[in-house]
Every structure is written in C-alpha cells, then in structure tokens.
C-alpha cells in the first residue's frame, strides 16, 4: 500500500536526519547500490537479502539499509506533490501514459521528461543519504558519478525467469513469457529514450550476476562483499 511504503520512506529519511548517539564518535561512510534487472530474475528477493546481509556485516551501521522499488515511486509522488493515482504509471516506460490521462482529466499535458527528471532527483537524494538499495529507473546512470555507489545487473535464463514468475505471480507460462518480453522492451526503451544508454552494456556495471547460477543468497553475499570493499 502507498501509505505503508511512504512510512518506510520517511522512516529511512528520518534515520539519516536525526542525530544518533554514535554520530560524534563514528563518522558514517556513505554507500549505496543500484540494481538493474531482467524481468523475473528475483531482484527484490536479492535486494532484501542484501539489505539484511549489509545490516549484519557493514561496520558501524546504525541506519537500516532500505530497498527502494515501489517505495521509490511513492517517494517521487510525495516529494513532488503528484497525485497518488499516478503511481500505476510511474514504472519504467509507462511515463507517456501520464500525459494522456492528465489530458483527459485536466486538459493539460505535463512533459514526460519532467517526471523522469523528478525521479532522477529522488534517486540522487537517496543515494547521497546512503544505505539505500535502488532498483531500476536507470539508477546506475543517474548515480554514475558518485564513487560510493555500486552498480549491479541481475540476469537469468528466460526459461528460469518464466518459471519463477509462474510460481510467484500465479501466471500461465504464456503470460509469464509475455510479461518478461514486454518488461525488457519497456526498460530498454526507458534508458534509450531518456538517458541515451543501453541497459545491456556491461561497462555500466561493477557486477553482472546470473541469479539462476548463484542463487539469491549467494548473490546478496557477493554484492555485499563487493560494496564493503568499494573505495
């Protein structure tokens, strides 16, 4: 629910802005992670296990690691005073539908680029706060110049991704295949249209992991260890 997601966002923000008892004696090292993913490769599961791993192994971590996927979109809505019903249009490559919807309701056409810009601003703010795991929305491109952010790409064979979606989302094999293909096309277009980047370019990432080969638990450990050795 949007309210629960916003509460999690605000809890994350407050934990950075309210001084802790350790703030004077233990300066905090900012770190963040972006995760680009193929549809159905288990990115959210990996991210949640990664947050738990970092909470346990990162030194002097008094602020909880937080995963931003749907929560990120809720924060965009809150930060920029956007109507809540826009949430369903905010995933990658759904931006253009906003223009048609608002045009029908209000007779106005806000530029899609504005929504993308506001999302990018939120990504940067969260990365700069640290202890954030940012899934999708071209996070690796937006935060590319921040040296303390680790960029990860998660992939898996199509058949494995279809099987996972059928199991987790109760879809038929045909529906799962169509979902994978359409989501991949949408995410590819999003990066190409708004950031002139190729989502499959391996040079954009520190790590590319096949979740079918390593599994969510090992993927979280590999990413976490890489982050702790970054900079």
Q: pLDDT tier at 15 (50, 70, 90 boundaries)?
A: very low
Give 156-201 pLDDT, tens digit per residue: 999 999 999 999 999 999 999 999 999 999 899 889 988 999 999 9
- Ranges of each domain in the chain: 2-7+30-228
Please tell me the predicted confidence (pLDDT) of residue 118.
82
Give 33-56 pLDDT, tens digit per residue: 999 999 999 999 999 999 999 998
Residue 32 has pLDDT above 90, yes or no: yes
Q: pLDDT tier at 63 (50, 70, 90 boundaries)?
A: confident
The Cα-based distances of 193 to 105, 179, 199 in angstroms read 26, 21, 11
Which tokens belong to 52?
């738990």
Highest mean pLDDT among 22-26, 109-113, 133-137: 133-137
Please tell me the predicted confidence (pLDDT) of residue 230.
81
The Cα-based distances of 162 to 42, 78, 94 in angstroms read 11, 34, 22
Distance of CA 67 to the CA centre of its chain: 7
The runs of H, that is alpha helices, within the chain are 2-17, 43-57, 70-79, 95-106, 112-129, 139-142, 158-169, 173-195, 211-228
Considering the chain, what percentage of its residues have pLDDT values greater than 90?
Answer: 53
How far is 100 from 106, CA to CA, in rounded Å? 10
The Cα-based distances of 60 to 23, 27, 45, 56 in angstroms read 10, 9, 25, 10
Q: Span 2-7+30-228: which CATH code? A: 3.40.50.300
Q: 130: closest CA among 186, 212, 60, 200?
A: 60
pTM to 2 decimal places: 0.77
Please tell me the predicted confidence (pLDDT) of residue 28.
58
Tell me the average pLDDT of the chain: 80
How far is 63 from 20, CA to CA, in rounded Å? 9
């Amino acid at each position: 629910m949007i309210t629960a997601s916003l509460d999690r966002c605000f809890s994350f923000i407050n934990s950075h802005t309210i001084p802790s008892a350790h703030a004077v004696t233990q300066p905090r090292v900012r770190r963040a992670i972006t995760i680009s993913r193929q549809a159905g490769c288990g990115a959210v599961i990996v991210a949640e296990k990664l947050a738990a791993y970092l909470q346990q192994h990162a030194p002097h971590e008094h602020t909880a690691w937080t995963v931003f996927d749907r929560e990120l979109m809720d924060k965009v809505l809150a930060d920029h005073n956007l109507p809540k019903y826009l949430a369903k249009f905010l995933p990658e490559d759904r931006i253009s539908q906003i223009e048609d919807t608002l045009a029908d309701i209000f007779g106005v056409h806000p530029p899609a680029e504005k929504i993308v810009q506001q999302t990018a601003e939120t990504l940067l703010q969260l990365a700069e706060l640290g202890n954030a795991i940012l899934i999708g929305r071209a996070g690796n491109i937006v935060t590319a110049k921040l040296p303390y952010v680790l960029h990860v790409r998660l992939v898996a064979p199509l058949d494995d991704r279809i099987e996972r979606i059928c199991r987790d989302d109760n879809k038929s094999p045909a529906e799962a295949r169509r979902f994978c293909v359409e989501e991949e096309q949408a995410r590819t277009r999003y990066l190409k249209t708004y950031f002139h980047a190729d989502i499959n370019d391996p040079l954009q990432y520190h790590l590319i992991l096949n979740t079918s080969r390593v599994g969510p638990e090992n993927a979280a450990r590999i990413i976490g260890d890489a982050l702790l050795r970054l900079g």
